[in-house]
Chain A
């Protein structure tokens, strides 16, 4: 006796093809990544020695109007060791931090000694500590040593040790750059080669002669002032 059979819907394959598809996808993506590496190798960016310093744009104060600033505009990418070009000292401070307050004097002395070979930059952040509220007026007061109540929490900026500073101060009160720079606290300074590569980071003391401070690093890396 003949039995009617309903036409069967097409069935999928017995084996699951998704693993194969995943392997093919992995292969294709890997090939593209390898081609990218050949075309333009990955550049390590970070605050560690040997890495390219993290770039940023921000507003900067040099004594007049606040202006656009981009760190990498200072880099000379074609610089070669022993070649010409200014080194860059990036200092992070909080205008309310007492250590930054006293380091102001040292920075002034270092600038006096090294400003022909080193470009100084001070990036001002606002640490999340009670009483550490800051503002552009406070940054200006700290840099210029002008009368403004609020530096070092409740001191007048005009009383900061040392002379007024003549280099650029950067407003990073919103902490946009501190993440990329892995800021351990303030004050923090790093010395960059003229091509933007981090040459000295105090967080890596194992790479330096024992007890080396900023001044020693400048002497060792930049040479005679």
Chain B
């Protein structure tokens, strides 16, 4: 599948988030924590937008039976994954909406921390961020399993779904490091 512009944009977003996380590890104190929080924010924004994109693909497939927003043939494609009526929703809610709501929560937690790193609730928010990220992990595992084994004509890999999955994994790693920093006194 040829790389298309949205996929390039998402890849750039993930690269920026990862680069910020790597950079943050070499910085100490408040500066490092702030950069780490920025990394988590970028991961969550990439997750938000990619979830929105998969929801748009979902609507597009429903509307016309096909989509120009992603390939619908081959191993790497969205049509057979997002277009599969048995697997494209969670209790009737499209996965794109589930992703939007989940990444909104992660974004809110990290944005709050970024806006006031020294608030009384900061420590609990680092814990909530880690727990919220962990809660998403089983869904990522489940969805990858579905892509590879359950959808029509499996295995398939949905590139935009994968971007959302990588965003969550990236966020989770950052949330873990952020919590470690808070608990080990490297916060500021």
- Interface residues, chain A, with chain B CB atoms under 8 Å away: 9-13, 16-18, 20-22, 24-26, 28-29, 32-33, 35-36, 39-43, 45, 52, 54-57, 70, 72, 75, 77, 176, 179-180
With A12-B120, A21-B108, A28-B48 already in contact, the answer to whether A36 and B115 are too (CB < 8 A) is no
Main SS of the interface on chain B?
helix
Decide if B115 touches A17 in the complex (CB within 8 Å): yes
Give min CB distance, A194 to chain B, whole Å: 12
Interface with A: B10-18, B61-69, B131-139, B161-169, which one?
B61-69
Give min CB distance, B2 to chain A, whole Å: 20
Decide if B86 touches A43 in the complex (CB within 8 Å): no
Q: Is B175 an interface residue (CB 8 A)?
A: no
Q: State A57–B55 Cα separation when bound (angstroms).
A: 21
Q: State A13–B53 Cα separation when bound (angstroms).
A: 36
With A17-B115, A21-B112, A36-B56 already in contact, the answer to whether A77 and B120 are too (CB < 8 A) is no
Decide if B120 touches A29 in the complex (CB within 8 Å): no
Decide if B116 touches A57 in the complex (CB within 8 Å): no
Decide if B59 touches A20 in the complex (CB within 8 Å): no
What residues on B are CB-neighbors of A29 within 8 Å?
48, 100, 104, 107
What residues on B are CB-neighbors of A13 within 8 Å?
116, 118-119
Please give me the 4 A-B residue pairs with the lowest Cβ-Cβ distance, nearest first: A12-B119, A40-B59, A55-B85, A17-B115
What residues on B are CB-neighbors of A35 within 8 Å?
52, 56
Q: State A70–B65 Cα separation when bound (angstroms).
A: 12
Q: Which residue of A lies closest to B115 (CB)?
A: A17
Q: State A40–B92 Cα separation when bound (angstroms).
A: 19
Decide if A43 touches B108 in the complex (CB within 8 Å): no
Q: Is B77 an interface residue (CB 8 A)?
A: no
Q: State A54–B62 Cα separation when bound (angstroms).
A: 10
Q: State A33–B97 Cα separation when bound (angstroms).
A: 9
What residues on A are CB-neighbors of B85 within 8 Å?
54-57, 70, 72
Q: Is B121 an interface residue (CB 8 A)?
A: yes
Q: Which residue of B lies closest to A76 (CB)?
A: B65
Against A, the Cβ 8 Å flags (1 = close, 0 = not) of B41-57 are 00001001100110111
What residues on B are CB-neighbors of A45 within 8 Å?
62
Known: A10-B118, A12-B118, A56-B85. 15 other contacts (CB 8 A): A12-B116, A12-B119, A12-B122, A13-B118, A17-B116, A32-B52, A36-B52, A39-B56, A39-B60, A39-B69, A40-B63, A41-B63, A57-B85, A57-B86, A77-B63
